Amino acid sequence: MENLYDVVIIGAGPAGLAAGLYSARAKMKTLILEKDKAGGQIVTTNEVANYPGSIDDATGPSLVARMVEQAESFGAERKKDEIVKVELQDKIKVVTGEKDVYKAKVVIIATGASPRYLGVPGERELTGKGVSYCATCDADFFTDLEVYVIGGGDTAVEEAMYLTKFARKVTVVHRRDELRAAKSIREKAFNNEKMAFIWDSVVEEIKGDGIVEKLVLKNKKTGEITEIDAPEEDGTFGIFPFVGYIPKSELFKDFLETDKGGYLITDPDMKTAVPGVFAAGDIRHKSLRQVVTAVADGAIAAVQAEKYIENTFEN
Amino acid sequence: MVILEKDNFEEEVLNSKGLVIVDFWSDGCEPCKALMPEVEALAEKYEGKVKFCKLNITKARRLAISQRVMGLPTILLYKDGAKIEEVTKDEAKAANIEAMIEKHI
Ligand SMILES: Cc1cc2nc3c(=O)[nH]c(=O)nc-3n(C[C@H](O)[C@H](O)[C@H](O)COP(=O)(O)OP(=O)(O)OC[C@H]3O[C@@H](n4cnc5c(N)ncnc54)[C@H](O)[C@@H]3O)c2cc1C
């Protein structure tokens, strides 16, 4: 069959790139499909301190650039296309993108996750107008301005500290009275002179005429509403929500098993219940969603894909 | 594509007749870099009909904010010097940029 791939990987984040590297290195005809930039979520951050073996001061983009280089050096193809439909039940899988249709013996789903929205009025309208989920994209704009980071986990606090390199002041707004972030991260944050904290508070609304001008907070314990206005001399400020993630599993959840949060269920070999369909990375139900676990998933999926193809197609 | 800076923005965009596209990007913005080749392809396609420009905001932050741009990637469409439409962030895709142009051409 013309243009039949051994392995088609959906998503070029760390999981997809690692799967591509292992798959191409095992001499399987491999295609990695990505709807926008290669690298996934990790290219939105400049602070990756915990990926073992990475160079000093590794950033998301630098880490990913090397992963892409490695996958391509073994012959993995990459294409920019957004997948909109999949038919995975049969022996030959069909994956349909906006630009083209792809056929494969194995599909590895590595579509990852995306930031969870706050879901408050004004948030969508003012995204790109002061509301941002991507520090590497937008930190520049907030040089010498004030920034509010929403959330209290590792990502929220680390991104807040990164933003202090640009912003005049960074205030973390958290719905509880203590941070969830790891102790080492917390201590650094409390020692950072540019950081401030607002506890027990959630965002009610974001307001502004074409640009962020006002943040409305509600104290969960007292019910009190506080309106924060942009300082007059600035005219605006930044809002970075980091309040968790949602899995990108819509295309698959009708025929693959998911957990309550919508994450795909696999066995320890990354197999889903459908033969020849694997899932890897943040899209999976698992306890730690990091680059180090994403690449491990990708490697396992590719090795299992090879075994599956040997057993199913060559005898 | 015309490379914009603080000094030529007014002349190339605000004082320009007809349709002008401005691609706001920065060195740190990976999605911007992924999008740029597609915008360049559109520039070729619409040559002579729409002027395509790009602005690196790293050195022109205030200028970008003055155009109410505070997130990347953002593509603005101007007509006779006035901003008429934009696409930003997840919406900043080649197909949407083309649709925006087709609406006003
Ligand atoms: C701000 C931030 C900071 C972080 N910091 C760290 C850190 O310091 N250390 C660490 O280890 N981890 C960190 N993480 C977590 C880490 O980024 C993720 O665990 C990792 O990126 C997961 O990789 P993945 O490949 O599974 O998914 P993703 O990175 O989400 O990649 C999935 C890819 O699939 C693509 N895709 C989705 N759907 C489709 C479709 N239909 N068609 C085509 N392509 C599609 C997406 O565009 C995306 O590129 C951070 C995350 C964030 C958001």
Nearest CA in chain A to B94: A36
Q: Please indicate, yes or no, if residue A174 is contained in any of the structural domains.
A: yes
The position carrying tokens 């069909």 is A94
Residues A162 and A224 occupy one common structural domain: yes
Last residue of a domain, one of A204, A226, A241: A241
Q: Is B33 on the interface with A (CB under 8 A)?
A: yes
- The mean of the pLDDT values for chain A is 95
Work out how many domains chain A is built from and give that number. Answer: 2
A61 touches ligand 1 (CB under 6 Å): no
Which residue from B72, B93, B95 is facing A137, i.e. has the nearest CB?
Answer: B72
Residues A147 and A219 occupy one common structural domain: yes
Residues A259 and A111 occupy one common structural domain: yes
Q: What pLDDT does A58 receive?
A: 87
Query: Inter-chain contact B26–A61, Cβ cutoff 8 Å?
Result: no
- Of residues A47 and A215, the one with the higher pLDDT is A215
The three-state (H, E, C) secondary structure of chain A, written as one string:
CCCEEEEEEECCCHHHHHHHHHHHHCCCCEEEEECCCCCHHHHHCCCCCCCCCCCCCCCHHHHHHHHHHHHHHCCCEEEECCEEEEECCCCCEEEEECCCEEEEEEEEECCCEEECCCCCCCCCCCECCCECCCHHHHHHHHCCCEEEEECCCHHHHHHHHHHCCCCCEEEEECCCCCCCCCHHHHHHHHHCCCEEEECCEEEEEEECCCCCCEEEEEECCCCCEEEEECCCCCCCCEEEECCCEEECCCCCCCCCCECCCCCECCCCCCECCCCCEEECHHHECCCCCCHHHHHHHHHHHHHHHHHHHHHHHCC
Residue A5 tokens read as 């791939």
Distance A43 CA to ligand 1 centre (A): 8
Question: Is A137 one of the catalytic residues?
Answer: yes
In this prediction, the answer to ipTM > 0.85 reads yes
**Which amino acid appears at position A144 of this protein?**
D
Residue A68, C-beta contacts closer than 8 angstroms, at least 6 positions apart: A12, A17, A38, A39, A78
Residue A275, C-beta contacts closer than 8 angstroms, at least 6 positions apart: A308, A312
Pairing of strands B2-4, A201-207: unpaired
Question: Which range, of A49-58, A182-191, A299-308, B96-105, averages the lowest pLDDT?
Answer: A49-58
Residues A55 and A155 occupy one common structural domain: no
Q: Please indicate, yes or no, if residue A130 is contained in any of the structural domains.
A: no
A175 touches ligand 1 (CB under 6 Å): no
Q: Is B57 on the interface with A (CB under 8 A)?
A: yes
Q: What is the mean pLDDT of residues B4-15?
A: 96
At residue B47, the 3 state secondary structure works out as coil
Q: Please indicate, yes or no, if residue A121 is contained in any of the structural domains.
A: no
Residue A150 exposure: Cα atoms within 13 Å on the Cβ side: 26
Residue A180 tokens read as 């969830």
Query: Inter-chain contact A138–B70, Cβ cutoff 8 Å?
Result: yes
| H/E run at residue B85 | strand B82-88
Report the nearest atom of ligand 1 relative to the CA of A38. 49
Can you list the domains of chain B with their CATH numbers? 2-104 (3.40.30.10)
Q: Please indicate, yes or no, if residue A109 is contained in any of the structural domains.
A: yes
Distance CA A72, CA A66 (A): 10
CATH code of the domain covering residue A109: 3.50.50.60
Residues A233 and A142 occupy one common structural domain: yes
Residue with CA closest to ligand 1 atom 8: A48
Q: Please indicate, yes or no, if residue A128 is contained in any of the structural domains.
A: no
A175 pLDDT above the threshold of 80: yes
Last residue of a domain, one of A197, A216, A241: A241
Compute the nearest-CA separation of B3 from chain A (Å): 19
Q: Which domain holds residue A52?
A: 4-115+245-313
Q: Please indicate, yes or no, if residue A79 is contained in any of the structural domains.
A: yes
Which residue from B34, B57, B69 is facing A37, i.e. has the nearest CB?
Answer: B34
Which residue of the set A138, A154, A282, A297 is catalytic? A138
Pairing of strands B50-56, B2-4: parallel
**pLDDT category of residue A56 using cuts at 50, 70 and 90:** confident
Residue A206 tokens read as 């974001």
Which residue of the set B29, B35, B55, B100 is catalytic? B29
Q: Please indicate, yes or no, if residue A63 is contained in any of the structural domains.
A: yes
Q: Is B66 on the interface with A (CB under 8 A)?
A: no
**Which amino acid appears at position B39 of this protein?**
V
Q: Which of A67, A137, A148, A213 has the highest number of chain B CBs within 10 A, making it the mutation to test binding with B? A: A137
pLDDT tens column, A93-113: 999 999 999 999 999 999 999
Q: Please indicate, yes or no, if residue A124 is contained in any of the structural domains.
A: no
Q: Which of B23, B38, B70 has the highest number of chain A CBs within 10 A, making it the mutation to test binding with A? A: B70
Distance CA A96, CA A145 (A): 44
Residues A103 and A53 occupy one common structural domain: yes
Residues A141 and A212 occupy one common structural domain: yes
Residues A101 and A29 occupy one common structural domain: yes
A46 pLDDT above the threshold of 80: yes
Residue A193 tokens read as 């002179």
